[in-house]
Structure 1
């Protein structure tokens, strides 16, 4: 349920020629250039063929997968579908690209594979019917894969797939689970599971290829303690049984090394606030540490022999992905709110710089801390350069809910700033990055707790003179869209306008129609099904409060969305129509958002125009 805006080279953000300024005969505004500018993801590379890489780019106007031969510099487009493709994995030998083939963004489909050098797309796992994906790990032998699947009928199943053989089921459970990793020699398979019924906190199991268990690690203590684990990867060394995992034993995410053969656990005990993630260096001697704290990132190399972390110099901002290369260098995807993202290297310079239009920058973000009912709330504020309040202000609420806004480049907030608005983003209770207690705090009073924090920041924005109380917009996508509709009904006098993108609108119907993994998450958040805890679902559903909505409402929705399905949105719209409430609805042929640049631009333009019509606040 998250969105990202890919990179463009920051050092060239203000260099535009006449061709860059125009599409046809029309001058392109900066907000639109930010979407149109070609961008790339952090390239994934093959462990046994490091010159073979795979990345995502919007170079054609649709986000698709691209192969990159780093030895020759050659690049080619791998996938070409009307609604785009972003889910892909490169085999360790660099010979194959696996990609997930769904229908128009519905996330229900099959894995296909294509030779790295090009060729036909084959069904990668014959014998496995279409499903929602639940993880994928590829073997170094080039013929083995571990495929996770999720369906409403079967829950989660995991299969061992070998070329020329029928898939073998090695795991099945009604609760959600997923493939974590396959060991270097292919003898160990690590999975995350929620058999205990708490979809927010996974336990771990290591299996042999025949499905028998080797080791288990469960920090949930039978559900009495809310501690989760995550798989970060097996050591990339032959015969090595060490598994790098993340844990929450000290109230935040940290890495440790678990030897699944001996049971020994080596805790890194890094004295760093905030969340810490890690991945192996290619020789297994050290870990690449990415530390996130108060919406910004830093990196370290942690030597496992000495236990000493060494800081890796990075500019202030956000590292949204990083990988250690065989030569010891680190490549990372970096951006800040002010500067568009780029794939950088500790060797210096930009690793992969797409040609063509360069994205304009935006304004820096300011940090605000507001006392709220559950503790200090961190908010990020952007406003037009030189502007003084009170300003028309957009509260742009992030999705997830287990996600957070950071000092990273984002085209949507920048578009609002270009039109004269201040933008406030709130890391409400439920957000990641501020400790386990903060993330877990929203249980059972789902939505209402987040709105308490948003209201506290709204009150600050008005009292500080930043925001004009008569021109306040509540907006967001996915969970942010849900909070938008809920907020318009629960806090009807607080907001002048609402713009909800792919939202949950009718929680009960959404539960019955959504994909199985999200059903499990909702049962965890609310403590049961709609039939078991009807009062909680009612209290947390925007539909409950729809008749209290006063502000004009704009809703956009993908008709193939498996996460926030269209039927429950139509139920909410019907209620608005029944009382002639001011609203507009835009439906488009995709899933949970669009991977087509023109479509994304159209949606933002419609949102800006809706605000202008009803508030007259834009420039």
Structure 2
């Protein structure tokens, strides 16, 4: 396809991808005027340094496939960034002076790996989490001028949670019990000796997860902010690792609740997510008082409390593009250039399903009446959820005359632990039952044209797309799967070690231990039943949904002469290059137009 350069002739859907965006700026704990953010200003997502005092912004990284993983040292002198190869997520940490200069190895010693957490101390000590197929999970303490010290090793998944303010304690999240969905916590000294353990997976019929939110921001304060699931949802509590005292906050907020410390330690910034939207609160540790931090209706995808007590947050809604705002007033970081066009708001739909009420978000062209060609855009994860947030891809479908339905199926976060944990053993099939219930509502309500239903998604959503085309062949007119799991057994053997652990948890073992479950949940099992045209896109360097298992599925489609197209590109689990993403969405729109006869011009 030919990319127009004149913004007056460029369709709105392309503008939404090309418009410069920025992430929520990170800031150095001891030098808050120094910040780091991610932007697509050059057409590829890269890291940028921002000196708030001078206003100067500088591009830090410049790589063909982009860079998004980075952090600042506490003193703000160094920018750490993760260097992989062509999006394969396997690499080492590099660092660069904040003011610019040559890159150098940030933590010499540990070999290349998948990242598993990082914490940087005020004296230059780094705690580096690693994951490899050979070693499992390891954690290394790297001190300036000393050989790295391995302090942790286990076959199951583990990672670095945080380093205490004084640099003496390390919080580790681990799944040594074998359940990759529910971590336990261990606090150790720099030599690896154990200080305290917290494990909610013991002593009950249900396993509950824990997560590290951060140590208190003061020397000698050994309280660790922790997320727990003891009341069926994520909530914060304070754990004094010296005394063992646990203080649950008992916040009267429905849905999932996360938190971070205010820099002076006097309170907590609460992020409350409920029914596909989010809001902010301040919790006073001394009094337990909870007060609302004003934000517009929509979704807060990141928030941080600044030393002056203000809160910066990244906000958007389905209709309004994202912006970094501050409670001190106005937009904090506004990238220059073209602004993304608005889209249409979402409508909330609740549908009775086999496992309970299902929440779906619906967008339709302004003023359109059904029945419409309808795209069921299925989110990845599976531990994720669609929200009332700006998304360029669904907006592109709406621009082309489609209704878009996004389903927060069982397995999604934000609706309680029971809903998220419902997937075990019947993986994929459970999610598709919920999608089917919402599909039936969409047709019965007059929204969707039953002859023009599109199933699409990326990652886990791509997996559900291929599985749905095979197990529900009469329901779908078209399938579009991006970076999917297509052959579950081969995917297991080729994927990164951390995902092997997740698959063992979801399915109850490895393919050799429970072959019948992998067979029942694998799209390859049902490939001969697929009747709808299929479009698949895949990154050749993808460590999460590797290319060989996709090729196996495509070979089976080709052998029976099924209508399909495949697009392979030189990246990993998706692309950070804007033009590449536009190309892929354009190919999906074109494939749908050719096979459905739907309007494809777009505005």
What is the TM-score normalised by the length of structure 2? Answer: 0.98
1:165 positional shift: 1.3
- Correspondence for 1:101 among 83, 89, 108: 83
Q: Which residue does the alignment assign to 1:514?
A: 495
Q: Which residue does the alignment assign to 1:442?
A: 423
8 Å CA contact 1:244, 1:257 repeated in 2? yes
Q: C-alpha separation between the residues in 2 aligned to 1:303 and 1:403?
A: 29
1:24 positional shift: 4.9
8 Å CA contact 1:198, 1:223 repeated in 2? no
Paired residue secondary structure (1:347): coil
Q: Which residue does the alignment assign to 1:115?
A: 97
1:26 positional shift: 7.7
Q: C-alpha separation between the residues in 1 aligned to 2:73 and 2:49?
A: 12
CA distance 1:162–1:384, shift in 2 (3 Å): same
Q: Residue by residue, what CA displacement relative to the aligned partner does 1:532-562 show, whole Å, maximum 9, x if unpaired? A: 0000000000000000000000000000000
- Tell me, yes or no, if structure 1 residue 404 matches structure 2 residue 385: yes
1:128 positional shift: 1.2
- Tell me, yes or no, if structure 1 residue 344 matches structure 2 residue 325: yes
- Correspondence for 2:63 among 81, 106, 111: 81
- Correspondence for 1:215 among 196, 210, 213: 196
Q: Which residue does the alignment assign to 1:29?
A: 11
Structure-to-structure mapping, 1:590-605, within 5 angstroms: 590-605=571-586
- Tell me, yes or no, if structure 1 residue 479 matches structure 2 residue 455: no
In terms of mean alpha carbon deviation, does 217-226 or 419-428 score higher?
Answer: 217-226
Q: Which residue does the alignment assign to 1:461?
A: 442
Q: Residue by residue, what CA displacement relative to the aligned partner does 1:238-265 show, whole Å, maximum 9, x if unpaired? A: 1110100000000000000001011111
Q: Residue by residue, what CA displacement relative to the aligned partner does 1:275-333 show, whole Å, maximum 9, x if unpaired? A: 00000000001000010000001110000001010001111000000000000000000
8 Å CA contact 1:196, 1:223 repeated in 2? no
- Tell me, yes or no, if structure 1 residue 193 matches structure 2 residue 177: no
1:222 positional shift: 6.0
1:618 positional shift: 2.4
Q: Which residue does the alignment assign to 2:271?
A: 290
Q: Which residue does the alignment assign to 1:452?
A: 433
- Correspondence for 1:176 among 128, 144, 157: 157
Q: C-alpha separation between the residues in 2 aligned to 1:104 and 1:294?
A: 36
Structure-to-structure mapping, 1:208-287, within 5 angstroms: 208-221=189-202, 224-287=205-268
- Tell me, yes or no, if structure 1 residue 138 matches structure 2 residue 120: yes
CA distance 1:82–1:488, shift in 2 (3 Å): same
Paired residue secondary structure (2:333): coil
In terms of mean alpha carbon deviation, does 132-141 or 560-569 score higher?
Answer: 132-141
> How many pairs align?
598
Q: Which residue does the alignment assign to 1:581?
A: 562
8 Å CA contact 1:180, 1:233 repeated in 2? yes
What is the TM-score normalised by the length of structure 1? Answer: 0.96
1:163 positional shift: 1.6
- Correspondence for 1:163 among 144, 161, 172: 144
- Correspondence for 1:303 among 265, 284, 290: 284
8 Å CA contact 1:510, 1:568 repeated in 2? yes
Q: Residue by residue, what CA displacement relative to the aligned partner does 1:75-94 show, whole Å, maximum 9, x if unpaired? A: 00000000000000111110
- Correspondence for 2:513 among 521, 525, 532: 532
- Tell me, yes or no, if structure 1 residue 609 matches structure 2 residue 593: no
1:225 positional shift: 2.0
Q: Which residue does the alignment assign to 1:12?
A: none
Q: C-alpha separation between the residues in 1 aligned to 2:296 and 2:27?
A: 24
Q: C-alpha separation between the residues in 2 aligned to 1:428 and 1:92?
A: 40
Q: Residue by residue, what CA displacement relative to the aligned partner does 1:89-134 show, whole Å, maximum 9, x if unpaired? A: 1111101111000000000000000011111100111111110000
Q: Which residue does the alignment assign to 1:9?
A: none
CA distance 1:513–1:443, shift in 2 (3 Å): same
Q: C-alpha separation between the residues in 2 aligned to 1:211 and 1:179?
A: 12
Paired residue secondary structure (1:302): strand
Structure-to-structure mapping, 1:56-71, within 5 angstroms: 56-71=38-53
Q: C-alpha separation between the residues in 1 aligned to 2:7 and 2:68?
A: 32
CA RMSD of aligned residues (A): 1.0
Q: C-alpha separation between the residues in 2 aligned to 1:128 and 1:520?
A: 22
Paired residue secondary structure (1:221): coil
1:464 positional shift: 0.2
Q: Which residue does the alignment assign to 1:49?
A: 31
1:617 positional shift: 1.0
1:376 positional shift: 0.1
1:25 positional shift: 8.7
Q: Which residue does the alignment assign to 2:547?
A: 566
In terms of mean alpha carbon deviation, does 207-216 or 158-167 score higher?
Answer: 158-167
Q: C-alpha separation between the residues in 1 aligned to 2:299 and 2:175?
A: 30
Q: C-alpha separation between the residues in 2 aligned to 1:127 and 1:136?
A: 15
CA distance 1:136–1:537, shift in 2 (3 Å): same
Q: C-alpha separation between the residues in 1 aligned to 2:524 and 2:4?
A: 44
1:224 positional shift: 3.9
Q: C-alpha separation between the residues in 2 aligned to 1:392 and 1:121?
A: 50
Q: C-alpha separation between the residues in 2 aligned to 1:135 and 1:617?
A: 46
- Correspondence for 1:391 among 351, 372, 387: 372
CA distance 1:426–1:49, shift in 2 (3 Å): same
Q: C-alpha separation between the residues in 1 aligned to 2:270 and 2:498?
A: 29
Paired residue secondary structure (1:23): coil
- Correspondence for 1:367 among 312, 337, 348: 348
Paired residue secondary structure (2:423): coil
CA distance 1:578–1:22, shift in 2 (3 Å): closer
- Correspondence for 2:357 among 368, 376, 380: 376
Q: C-alpha separation between the residues in 2 aligned to 1:43 and 1:490?
A: 44
Q: Which residue does the alignment assign to 1:40?
A: 22
Paired residue secondary structure (2:332): coil
